[in-house]
């Protein structure tokens, strides 16, 4: 089940789904994304991870054949009240320790019983849960979540789904019938200690810009807002188009690598809304128009995220509208 929520992690839901057309199902967070996939002609199963919030969304789900995650009582009531001809495939979500969506273990038997009796549901319902720290290898919390899920679902019919990307890679016991990878499909590692390359993944996104100016600075000159970087020697600074108005994190620290003409060079000074500054003193001559890669092959978005105190998920999801997205 290929997770393409949040505009396919910033990659564009329709182009990404085309690239992932071999998936058996797609998973999205919002109805609007599910409708976009149907409108674009995708016929695969589509799972709405948050389920429906009202009767209007039930109607849309029925019309487009969208599968629903059922994580709270109100959603069972919507299904019980449904009088349309269509029946729904649903996934009952059990909260085994994420503390977010899903029925707590104590409420699960009653929820399962209601779902099993509901005539608008295609039986048997699928069974799912979500891991809270699968990216930490071999931890007791995840082991307990897996054990609890196994106990709560023992002997029940219905397909099981547990694993996100990290669960799929690090927890073979979590693979069950359906896996739900998101991040790794875009070539990004979910682990702090393993790179995408370690996992055999290649980034799908390249955030590319151009040098718009090159400027010589003297020792003691400050660069950028707040003067957070001061040249310690005569230096050459390339100014590249691209800043936090595009998705490049303002918190990225001096020293975060970028590629100028495919050669690594350090970001220096504070990232602006539309521009950032790079120390290219050590590089062969750089001129306006030269290509700058802010993340992609050679500059993992994981590295940029670490340098900005965030996670790669946040960076790729934040790609703003003025960034032109093309899939290779």
The yes or no reply on residue 49 touching ligand PLP (CB under 6 A) is yes
Nearer to ligand PLP, 49 or 118 (CB): 49
The yes or no reply on residue 68 touching ligand PLP (CB under 6 A) is no
Q: What is the DSSP string of 22-54?
A: T-SEEEESSHHHHHHHHHTT--SEEEETT--SS
Rg (CA), the chain: 24
The yes or no reply on residue 3 touching ligand PLP (CB under 6 A) is yes
Interactions with ligand PLP, residue window 100-139 (CB under 6 A): 130
**Separation between Cα atoms, residue 56 and residue 77, nearest integer Å:** 14
Nearer to ligand PLP, 181 or 269 (CB): 181
Report in angstroms the alpha-carbon separations of 64 from 45, 86, 162, 173: 10, 10, 25, 33
Reply yes or no on whether 225 is catalytic: yes
* Nearest approach, Cβ of residue 101 and ligand PLP (Å): 8
Ordered strands of the 45-48 beta sheet: 2-3, 25-28, 45-48, 67-70, 90-93, 126-128, 160-161
Structure tokens at 81: 């009240």
Interactions with ligand PLP, residue window 226-255 (CB under 6 A): none
Active-site pick, 53, 141, 215, 225: 225
Reply yes or no on whether 5 is catalytic: yes
The yes or no reply on residue 164 touching ligand PLP (CB under 6 A) is yes
The yes or no reply on residue 260 touching ligand PLP (CB under 6 A) is no
Which residues touch 192 (CB under 8 Å, ≥6 apart)? 135, 306
Nearer to ligand PLP, 190 or 296 (CB): 190
Residue 124, helix vs strand vs coil: coil
Kindly write out the interface string for residues 5-34 of this chain, putting x where it contacts ligand PLP by CB under 6 A and - elsewhere. x-----------------------------
> Contact with ligand PLP (CB under 6 A): which of 10, 102, 190, 224?
190
The residue sitting closest to ligand PLP, measured at its beta carbon, is 182
Q: End-to-end CA distance of the chain, in Å? A: 22
* Nearest approach, Cβ of residue 170 and ligand PLP (Å): 11
Structure tokens at 56: 């209007």
Considering only the stretches 83-91, 137-145, 178-186, 229-237, report the one whose residues sit in contact with ligand PLP under the rule CB under 6 A: 178-186
Do 152 and 144 contact (CB within 8 A), yes or no?
A: no
Nearer to ligand PLP, 279 or 302 (CB): 302
**Separation between Cα atoms, residue 186 and residue 203, nearest integer Å:** 6
Task: Write out the catalytic residue numbers.
Answer: 5, 225
Residues engaged in binding ligand PLP (CB under 6 A)? 3, 5, 49, 130, 164-165, 180-183, 190
């Amino acid at each position: 089940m290929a997770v393409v929520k949040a505009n396919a992690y910033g990659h564009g839901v329709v182009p990404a789904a085309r690239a992932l057309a071999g998936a058996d199902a797609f998973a999205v967070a919002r109805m609007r994304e599910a409708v976009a996939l149907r409108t674009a002609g995708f016929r695969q199963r589509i799972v709405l991870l948050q389920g429906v919030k009202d009767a209007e969304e039930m109607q849309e789900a029925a019309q487009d054949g969208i599968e629903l995650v059922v994580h709270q009582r109100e959603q069972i009531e919507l299904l019980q009240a449904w009088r349309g001809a269509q029946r729904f495939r649903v996934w009952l979500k059990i909260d085994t320790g994420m503390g977010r969506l899903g029925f707590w273990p104590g409420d699960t038997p009653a929820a399962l019983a209601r779902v099993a009796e509901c005539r608008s549901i295609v039986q048997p319902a699928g069974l799912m849960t979500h891991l809270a720290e699968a990216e930490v290898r071999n931890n007791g919390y995840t082991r307990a979540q897996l054990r609890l899920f196994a106990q709560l679902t023992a002997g029940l019919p219905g397909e099981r789904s547990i694993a996100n990307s990290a669960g799929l890679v690090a927890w073979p016991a979590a693979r069950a019938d359906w896996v739900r990878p998101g991040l790794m499909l875009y070539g990004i590692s979910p682990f702090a200690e393993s790179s995408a390359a370690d996992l055999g993944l290649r980034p799908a996104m390249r955030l590319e810009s151009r040098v718009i100016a090159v400027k010589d600075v003297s020792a003691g000159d400050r660069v950028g807002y707040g003067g957070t970087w001061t040249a310690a020697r005569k230096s050459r600074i390339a100014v590249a188009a691209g800043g936090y108005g595009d998705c490049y994190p303002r918190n990225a620290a001096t020293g975060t690598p970028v590629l100028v003409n495919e050669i690594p060079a350090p970001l220096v000074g504070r990232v602006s809304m539309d521009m950032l500054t790079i120390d290219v003193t050590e590089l062969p001559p750089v001129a306006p128009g030269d290509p700058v890669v802010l993340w992609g092959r050679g500059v993992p978005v994981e590295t940029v995220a670490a340098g900005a105190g965030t996670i790669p998920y946040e960076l790729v999801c934040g790609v703003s509208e003025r960034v032109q997205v093309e899939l290779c």
